[in-house]
Chain A
Amino acid sequence: MSKEPVAVVGIGQTKHVAARHDVSIAGLVREAAARALADAELTWADIDAVVIGKAPDFFEGVMMPELYLADALGAVGKPMLRVHTAGSVGGSTALVASNLVAARVHRTVLTLAFEKQSESNAMWGLSLPVPFQQPLLAGAGGFFAPHVRAYMRRTGAPDTVGSLVAYKDRRNALKNPYAHLHEHDLTLEKVQASPMLWDPIRYSETCPSSDGACAMILTDRAGAARSPKPAAWVHGGAMRSEPTLFAGKDFVSPQAGKDCAADVYRQAGITDPRREIDAVEMYVPFSWYEPMWLENLGFAAEGEGWKLTEAGVTELDGDLPVNPSGGVLSTNPIGASGMIRFAEAALQVRGQAGEHQVPGARRAMGHAYGGGSQFFAMWLVGAQEPTS
């Protein structure tokens, strides 16, 4: 039995900003969904099911908000699923939707992820009360900074690598009209002089807190044939999880991330990711995670990731552009960030990424992670329908 090929035929995002005071939560998600439908030239009636994802419900103060959002997303009378896998959720949500088509349970599915972080304070929302977590951890940066330090010690990477990533991603964001941060006057010197938040992570090397939503229309082979615009085809997708803490856990390069990438490459027939993949949208909420994930995902040998960054390989005009959209460092509605990675990868192979298009991109990877570097979701999309 073979799976149904899955195609992305519609993509919609909101303009991501610090606070969307002009719309309700329903208004925010509907804006992205309507744009995805318009991109696909489909209507609400063409949608068989809705799969929605977001990070913790505490961020908006609404328990299981998909119940309230059923109307706004045209889901009444249809199946609606709500995924929550921490920071990887946007990617996981897309994969759950993709499986509905691949399994031939549904033909055309709307998938959407969002966060309206201005409804609360995400940093403290992620800082669990004692006894769940030690005091003064202060947000995700407090959790991840020691692991960045471990990476620097392990590889001998120079202190400046993180600032190079931040400067690159923020400049890429200037070419992406949907990105939250558009810092026209940013310089590398300013990044390097910005305040130290969680040593070694500086203010300009951290993600913003955003309101935003991202939606995609996934469909089967017949749906793709009717699509007026080029489709992005799913060549592989996988999720992997491991526990938060255990003796021997490698926080710098978690096994779950390696296994997840290996599964995706196997499905997609990729043997040399560095050569065969044209663009990567990876989940880099703190600058140093670019070199760390380059190694974890097999784009560089262990200890060598920072050298790619330093040599400019991951620049928009490098031979492995990473986060041409500006990435999580420029836009971070947490629950949506994974789906934005997946959608931006699809935009690249559809040739519709506008000013941040990687010329001739044929295969692109979307990557998301969450929790304590323990949940991973990835997909690989291509301009051609998969042959197997």
Chain B
Amino acid sequence: MARYAREVAVVAFAQSDHLRRTDELSEVEMVMPVLHRVLAATGLKAGEIGFTCSGSSDYLAGRAFSFTMTLDGVGAWPPISESHVEMDGAWALYEAWVKIQTGEADTALVYSYGKSSPGSVRDVLTRQLDPYYVAPLWPDSVALAALQAQALIDAGETDESALAAVGARSRADAEANPHAQLRGPVPQGDYQVRPLRTGDCPPVGDGAAAVVLAAGDLARQLCERPAWITGIDHRIEAHSLGLRDLTDSPSTRLAAERAGVFEAPVDTAELHAPFSSQEVVLRKALGITDGVAVNPSGGALAANPMMAAGLIRIGEAAARIHRGASQRAVAHATSGPCLQQNLVAVLEGDPR
């Protein structure tokens, strides 16, 4: 595999329990136990990590430079080589992966977190829309996802009962995931914004996740069965919804091509599809066939901590490889309205 200069693997993954509210916890109190767990899994100390990168949003934290506080959870003393993206942690992982590819680091700690409970996340997310022409109308994230869902139904690609089945399957699978926020049967409920019902929408909650990356033989020392990142790429689409075909995700498809998804079959797909209808779009873009385990963790419909849910998809796919339940998995993360920006990673275990 000569796609990249170095072999890099996910060697450990940890996440918090994802909860509707964590009023008694600051972000750093939420993140720190997760960091301790992920480092303990590798036996590494914070000071032994070559590069640290995090992802979070000031708009969720409600204060500027919010990531400076969570850095306290890392224990950045003596000083560390560190960076931060105002993006989902999946992109922090990408930055860390690039750093390892340069040869400047052999290991990386990646973490991300988000607390949606202090505000109305539906309203908060309207602030990431075009500030001149769209944001003043305050179209919320559920309304925009509903536009996408309706476009899919109009195109004959799905219907309301099929969407309901996506939610039901996700939460049934989440029964085996102790960290998930919604586990087991959830009433499909009323329309939130037609055609999306409560069951088609992700739970709103707080949570954090962390991953350790390592290169080459070090990865083999730190992890019995490393989840090798054999491909990773991300692409963005136009922001204006009017410029996009909402029933498709060309950015996901292109990222998948670049990451080599289509070069061999996958057995697992962890897709960051906060809304049931978005799973339909992603299955099409990634060419997911029957027999592939889609979101065995329950996915974002079972737990959707903002800024962390994408990183969790990579972590869940890797953890499945770690425990021998997957040989080749695709993990996906998204950002922006209606799947505007997408990251795709291929994770593989050593042949057995």
Binding site for B on A (CB under 8 A): 1-3, 24-25, 55-58, 60-65, 67-71, 75-86, 92, 96, 99-100, 102-105, 125-126, 128-129, 132, 238-244, 246, 254-256, 259-260, 263, 371-372, 374-375
Contacts and interface: CB of A to CB of B under 8 A. Distances in A.
Given A82-B87, A256-B79, A126 B125 contact: no
B238 A240 contact: no
B63 A128 contact: yes
20 contacts: A25-B131, A57-B57, A57-B58, A63-B128, A77-B235, A77-B254, A80-B234, A96-B83, A99-B95, A99-B98, A104-B101, A128-B64, A240-B79, A240-B81, A242-B76, A242-B78, A242-B80, A244-B68, A255-B79, A259-B78
Interface stretch (B161-169, B180-188, B334-342): B334-342
B122 interface: no
Contacts of B351: none
Contacts of A86: 65, 68
Contacts of A61: 127, 131
Interface in B64-107: 64-65, 67-69, 71-72, 76-87, 91, 94-95, 98-99, 101-104
A81 B81 contact: no
Interface size class of B (residues with CB under 8 A): 35 or more
Contacts of B335: 64, 67
Given A82-B87, A99-B104, A103-B4, 9 more contacts: A63-B59, A77-B250, A81-B91, A83-B83, A99-B95, A105-B98, A239-B82, A241-B80, A256-B79
Contact of B236 (A80, A92, A238, A244): A80
Counting chain B CB atoms within 10 Å of each CB, which of A58, A64, A92, A371 scores highest? Answer: A64
A103 B81 contact: no
Contacts of B86: 57, 64, 82-84
Contacts of B6: 1
Contacts of A3: 102-104
A75 B69 CA distance: 32
B84 A68 contact: no
B239 A243 contact: no
A132 B125 CA distance: 24
A352 to B, nearest CB: 27
Nearest to B88: A64
B64 A104 contact: no
A155 B309 CA distance: 50
A67 B128 contact: yes
B103 A241 contact: no
A103 B98 contact: yes
Nearest to B126: A63
B87 A81 contact: yes
**9 interchain residue pairs of minimum CB distance:** A103-B101, A256-B79, A56-B64, A241-B82, A63-B128, A84-B86, A63-B59, A63-B127, A67-B336
Contact of B84 (A69, A84, A125): A84
A240 B82 contact: yes
Interface string B112-137: 00000000000011011111100100
Contacts of A241: 52, 71, 76, 79-82
Given A58-B64, A86-B68, A104-B5, A67 B340 contact: yes
Contact of A100 (B5, B52, B98, B129): B98
B78 A76 contact: no
A103 B84 CA distance: 19
A61 B77 CA distance: 33
